[in-house]
């Protein structure tokens, strides 16, 4: 099956990205021990890096990528140099920036990810709270945990599938003790107790999504606290390293009003992919535990509605705006997107699940255009932009999001835009979902200069 989007979309990007990739390859050796280029957009090296390893997830990229991109500027890192990541996630880019000695700004409207980024990227600021955090958690898990729980019914129902009642009750008491000590909003406390929650969870992890049906051996809350504290303390030197200015904003990067025009020296980023990956759903355990949301609809209203539209669970309010989103796109992208959307509408009618993938395409591209335009505004003239993003297959329709985004970047004014696959992914999808296309799905590297 040859998909419509593929036939309409003809632009061949210059293959100049090869030299960029080989520069990355050379530079990575000077920053960290060698890793294959294919691992740069993945989180598979993270567990070997101080601070980064405190909290990480499957959608993260490697610290090596950030280091290599900074080294590629050829400049000696210093405090006045500023990196921007408009999609912070677990904070790999701002943490790497700080450890290299450059300042950073990052955005993420997901309340849990913003807190995790803040805890890691500004760990020096919270370090002196560590003894108090440890004492409050010890008290909570050591006391006879109370049966009383302030969590909502749906939160208890969900969390009880993941953590056995005694441990859940102990962790809940630890949260209440943090609250009593005025530490329940402290980012480092949230990171630490969230990691303990992970270790006490009897469900296996797929990324950071806890699937109640899969199982692993949980740790006791006491053993989990020991493990988490021992990792943090062994990273003390990097955790307390200061001298840079790191700003994490829990807001959408569609508007980055905090940043002046031409104030950013480099962007290293990776946005949500247009692949129906639900960042709110995958963090449900933490959102419920920290009372950032208390039900499915609460998650939609407080979390999903703030994120770039990339999943059919986030369509509330976006369906009536399709025309508006479509009109904001460059003509070449609009034509290709139209054809993909029409094919998706037809596929939806044939499929039992009736997933509304056809409503995702225009809002995703339009919101990404806003972020890219804001990013361009903030970059200094000639400053480099590096982005990792994947294409997707929805109901068998190929969505060449990286090429569309690169096209949008050209319209915005980026120069020397290059876009090339850096890593194949999702092989199991190729046969049925990419039949007729010449390449499998992949993670793409997009480069541009402001």
Ligand X SMILES: C[S@@+](CC[C@H](N)C(=O)[O-])C[C@H]1O[C@@H](n2cnc3c(N)ncnc32)[C@H](O)[C@@H]1O
| Residue ranges in contact with ligand X by CB under 6 A | 59-61, 86-87, 89-90, 92, 107-110, 113, 252-254, 270-272, 279, 307-308
- Closest distance to ligand X from the beta carbon of 135 (Å): 30
300, 316 in Cβ contact below 8 A? yes
The smaller minimum CB distance to ligand X, of residues 109 and 187, is found at 109
Instruction: Retrieve residue 261's tokens.
Output: 């025009």
Q: How far apart are CA 117 and CA 136, in angstroms?
A: 22
317 φ/ψ sector (left φ>0, alpha ψ -120 to 50, else beta) = left
User: Which of 89/400 has CB closer to ligand X?
Assistant: 89
Measured between alpha carbons, how far apart are the two ends of the chain, in Å?
Answer: 38
- Closest to ligand X by CB, 247 vs 332, is 247
Element holding 336 (H helix, E strand): helix 331-350
Q: Which is nearer to ligand X, 228 or 267 (CB)?
A: 267
Least spacing, CB of residue 444 vs ligand X, in Å: 13
- Residues 316, 60, 421, 386: is their CA dihedral positive or negative? positive
Q: Which is nearer to ligand X, 6 or 369 (CB)?
A: 369
Count of Cβ atoms closer than 10 Å to residue 175 Cβ: 24
Of 390 and 437, which has the nearer Cβ to ligand X?
390
Q: What are phi and psi of 330, to 5 degrees?
A: -60, 150
As measured in angstroms, the least distance from the Cβ of 55 to ligand X is: 9
Q: Please, which residue, 13 or 87, has the CB nearer to ligand X?
A: 87
User: Helix %, strand %, coil % for the chain, to 5?
Assistant: 50, 10, 40
Residue nearest ligand X (C-beta atom): 89
Structure-token pair, residue 301? 């209203």
Least distance to ligand X from the beta carbon of 89, Å? 2
Residue 62 CB, shortest distance to ligand X, in Å, is 8
Least separation in angstroms between CB 386 and ligand X: 11
* Shortest CB 252 distance to ligand X, Å: 3
Distance CA 63, CA 413 (A): 28
Q: 160: which 2 tokens?
A: 């009880």
Residue 55 or 357 with smaller CB distance to ligand X: 55
- The number of residues making up the chain comes to 450
Closest contact distance (angstroms) between CB of 253 and ligand X is 4
Angstrom distance (rounded) from CA 79 to CA 102: 5
DSSP lists the bridge partners of residue 432 as: none
Full 3-state SS string of 270-296:
CCCCCCCCCCCHHHHHHHHHCCCCCCH
């Amino acid at each position: 099956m040859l998909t419509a989007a593929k036939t309409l979309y003809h632009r061949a990007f210059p293959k100049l990205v090869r030299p960029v990739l080989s520069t990355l390859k050379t530079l990575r050796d000077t920053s960290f021990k060698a890793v294959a280029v294919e691992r740069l957009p993945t989180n598979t090296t993270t567990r070997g890096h101080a601070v980064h390893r405190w909290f990480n997830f499957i959608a993260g990229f490697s610290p090596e990528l950030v280091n290599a991109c900074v080294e590629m500027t050829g400049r000696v890192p210093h405090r006045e140099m500023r990196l921007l990541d408009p999609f912070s996630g677990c904070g790999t880019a701002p943490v790497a920036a700080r450890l290299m000695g450059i300042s950073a700004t990052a955005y993420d409207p997901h309340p849990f990810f913003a807190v995790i980024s803040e805890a890691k990227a500004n760990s020096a600021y919270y370090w002196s709270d560590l003894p108090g955090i440890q004492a409050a958690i010890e008290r909570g898990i050591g006391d006879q945990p109370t049966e009383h729980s302030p969590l909502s019914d749906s939160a208890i129902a969900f969390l009880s599938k993941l953590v056995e009642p005694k441990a859940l009750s102990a962790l809940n008491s630890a949260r209440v003790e943090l609250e009593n000590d005025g530490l329940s909003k402290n980012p480092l406390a949230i990171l630490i107790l969230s990691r303990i929650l992970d270790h006490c969870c009897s469900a296996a992890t797929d990324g950071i999504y806890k699937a109640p049906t899969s199982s692993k051996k949980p740790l006791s809350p006491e053993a989990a606290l020991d493990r988490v504290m021992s990792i943090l303390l062994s990273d003390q030197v990097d955790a307390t390293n200061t001298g840079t200015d790191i700003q994490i904003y829990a807001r959408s990067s569609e508007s980055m009003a905090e940043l002046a025009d031409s104030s950013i020296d480099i962007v290293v980023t990776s946005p949500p992919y247009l692949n129906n990956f639900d960042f709110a759903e995958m963090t449900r355990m933490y959102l419920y535990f920290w009372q950032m949301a208390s039900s499915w609809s609460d998650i939609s209203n407080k979390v999903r509605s703030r994120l770039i539209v990339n999943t059919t669970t986030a369509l509330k309010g976006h369906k009536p705006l399709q025309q508006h989103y479509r009109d904001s796109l460059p003509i070449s992208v609009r034509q290709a997107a139209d054809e993909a959307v029409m094919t998706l509408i037809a596929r939806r009618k044939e499929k039992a699940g009736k997933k509304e993938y056809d409503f995702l395409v225009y809002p995703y591209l339009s919101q990404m255009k806003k972020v890219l335009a804001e990013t361009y505004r903030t970059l200094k003239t000639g400053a480099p932009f590096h982005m990792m993003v994947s294409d997707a297959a929805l109901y068998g329709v190929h969505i060449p999001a990286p090429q569309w985004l690169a096209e949008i970047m050209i319209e915005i004014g980026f120069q020397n835009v290059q876009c090339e696959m850096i890593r194949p992914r999702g092989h199991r999808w190729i046969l049925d979902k990419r039949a007729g296309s010449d390449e499998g799905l992949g993670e793409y590297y997009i480069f541009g200069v402001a």
